[in-house]
């Protein structure tokens, strides 16, 4: 798909125009969240936003361009929270806060998150996906610069594994219809902390010997 079709036509310069664009994007989010792709088109978005479809077309050429803007809004809001956490602390406390923030973001509107994941692939937005993943990985690696993790050599693999742990548990919980975000956060944090404890233990182990087993958080 041509990336030109996914670009916003006009960037708002005034507060009123910014409010219009924001209402379009949120209208799209609500339609996708509650009605799915079947009810998603520019006429429906304009109606939900309370504007004419002509006004919508001033800013977006089609629904796919709105979807991209929505994806960018969701990623930006998450990154703002994550960056704020990393500015204040490092190490395991920061990791746990990052995990909690990511889980909260994904579970706040799980239907929307699932559809947007699918749309990233459909619209071939690899650039957007790569940028977001790179930013998240960089923040986690910054937290792993704490002394407790200094001896862990392959931090990149650890970061990748952590993200897989988070997404695996969250996706499974969402598929089962779970909505208790605090309970899901607790499980994810427990899994990540256990993985990190094992990783730091392995870092101090001679590579010629098998890694220790049976270590648990708090043991």
Q: What is the mean pLDDT of residues 188-211?
A: 70
Q: Which of 86-95, 118-127, 147-156, 181-190 is predicted most confidently?
A: 181-190
Q: What is the pLDDT of residue 203?
A: 57
Question: Band of the pLDDT at 211, cuts 50, 70, 90?
Answer: very low
Q: What is the pLDDT of residue 206?
A: 41
**Residue 219, pLDDT above cutoff 60:** no
Q: How remote is the C-alpha of 127 from its chain's centroid? A: 15
The pTM of this model reads: 0.79
193, 217 contact by CB (below 8 A): yes
**Residue 209, pLDDT above cutoff 80:** no
- Residue 74: left if φ>0, alpha if ψ -120 to 50, beta else—which one? alpha
Q: What is the pLDDT of residue 180?
A: 94
Q: What is the pLDDT of residue 208?
A: 38
Dump pLDDT digits (tens) for 81-135.
999 999 888 888 899 999 999 999 999 998 899 999 888 888 777 777 778 888 8
Give me the chain's average pLDDT, please.
Answer: 84
Structure tokens at 163: 């993200």
Q: What is the pLDDT of residue 118?
A: 87
Question: Band of the pLDDT at 217, cuts 50, 70, 90?
Answer: very low
Which range, of 18-32, 51-65, 72-86, 124-138, averages the lowest pLDDT?
124-138
Q: Higher pLDDT residue, 60 or 8? A: 60
Give the other-Cβ count within 10 Å of 213's Cβ: 7
Question: Band of the pLDDT at 3, cuts 50, 70, 90?
Answer: low
Q: What is the pLDDT of residue 150?
A: 67
């Amino acid at each position: 798909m041509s990336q030109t079709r996914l670009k916003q036509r006009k960037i708002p310069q005034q507060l009123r125009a910014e409010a219009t664009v924001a209402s379009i994007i949120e209208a799209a989010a609500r339609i996708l969240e509650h009605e799915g792709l079947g009810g998603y088109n520019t006429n429906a978005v304009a109606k939900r936003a309370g504007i004419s479809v002509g006004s919508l077309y001033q800013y977006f050429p089609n629904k796919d361009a709105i979807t991209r803007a929505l994806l960018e809004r969701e990623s930006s809001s998450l990154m703002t929270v994550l960056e704020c956490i990393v500015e204040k602390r490092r190490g395991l406390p920061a990791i746990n806060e990052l995990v909690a923030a990511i889980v909260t973001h994904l579970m706040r509107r799980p239907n929307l998150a699932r559809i947007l994941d699918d749309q990233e692939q459909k619209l071939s937005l690899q650039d957007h996906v790569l940028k977001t993943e790179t930013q998240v990985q960089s923040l986690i690696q910054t937290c792993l610069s704490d002394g407790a993790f200094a001896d862990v050599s392959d931090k990149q693999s650890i970061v990748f594994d952590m993200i897989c742990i988070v997404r695996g548990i969250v996706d499974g919980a969402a598929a089962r219809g779970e909505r208790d975000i605090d309970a899901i956060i607790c499980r994810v944090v427990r899994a990540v902390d256990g993985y990190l404890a094992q990783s730091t233990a392995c870092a101090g182990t001679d590579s010629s010997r098998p890694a220790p087993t049976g270590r648990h958080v708090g043991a």
